[in-house]
Amino acid sequence: RVLRVHGVEVRPLAALAVTWTASGQKRASPQERVVYTSHHGWRELEAALFPNRIACGALEMAPAPRCLTAAGSDAGGGAGIQADLKAFAAHGVFGMTALTALTAQNTKGVQDVHIVPLAHFQAQVRSVLSDLGVDAVKTGMVPSKAHMTALATACMEYARAGLVSANGAPAGGVMATGAGVGGAPHLVIDPVMVAAAGDTLVDARNARESARCVFPFATVVTPNLPEAAALLTDASGAIPNFTGIADLYSAARRIRFEYGAPWVLLKGGHLEGVSDAVDVLCGAAPGAKGGGDVFYEFRAPLIPSRNSHGTGCTLGSSIAAQLALGRSVPEAVYRAKAYLTEVLSHSRDLQLGGGPHGPLNHLSSVTAKPVWPVRATLAATSTVAGVEQPDAAPALPPGSLLLYAITDVSQNSKHGRSMYDAVRGAIAGGATMVQVREKEVCTADYVATVRDALRARDDLRAEGKLHRTVPIVVNDRIDVCLASGADGVHVGAEDLDVASARSALGPGKIVGATAKYPEIAREAQARGADYVGCGAIFASSTKPGSSVIGLDGLNRVVQSVAIGVVAIGGITSSNMGSVFEECPNIRGVALMSSI
Q: Which residues contact 406 (CB under 8 A, 6 or more apart)?
A: 434, 435, 437, 475, 568, 590, 591, 592
pLDDT tens column, 111-152: 999 999 999 999 999 999 988 889 999 999 888 888 888 998
CATH code for the domain defined by 403-591:
3.20.20.70
Taking Cα atoms as reference points, which of 157, 96, 93 lies closest to residue 132? Answer: 96
pLDDT tens column, 424-456: 999 999 999 999 998 888 899 999 999 999 999
Per the CB < 8 A criterion, the answer to whether 505 and 488 are in contact is yes
pLDDT tens column, 79-122: 999 999 999 988 889 999 999 999 999 988 889 999 999 999 99
Q: What is the pLDDT of residue 23?
A: 54
Per the CB < 8 A criterion, the answer to whether 341 and 375 are in contact is yes
CA gap 154, 217 in Å, rounded? 12
3-state secondary structure 266-279: EECCCCCCCCEEEE
Beta pairing partners, 293: 284
Window from 136-145, 172-181, 196-205, 450-459 with minimum mean pLDDT: 172-181
- Which is higher by pLDDT, 404 or 48? 404
Give pTM, 2 decimals: 0.58
Domain locations along the chain = 2-56, 66-388, 403-591
pLDDT tens column, 472-500: 999 989 999 999 999 999 998 777 788 88
CATH fold of 66-388 reads UDP-N-acetylmuramoyl-L-alanine:D-glutamate ligase (3.40.1190)
Q: Would the pLDDT of 47 be above 70?
A: no
CA gap 188, 128 in Å, rounded? 17
Average pLDDT on 355-370 reads 68
- Looking at the chain, the number of H-run helices and the number of E-run strands are 21, 24
Q: Which residues contact 232 (CB under 8 A, 6 or more apart)?
A: 240, 251, 254, 255, 258
3-state secondary structure 102-159: EEEEECCEEEEEEECCHHHHHHHHHHHHHHCCCCEEEECCCCCHHHHHHHHHHHHHHH
Q: What is the pLDDT of residue 285?
A: 66
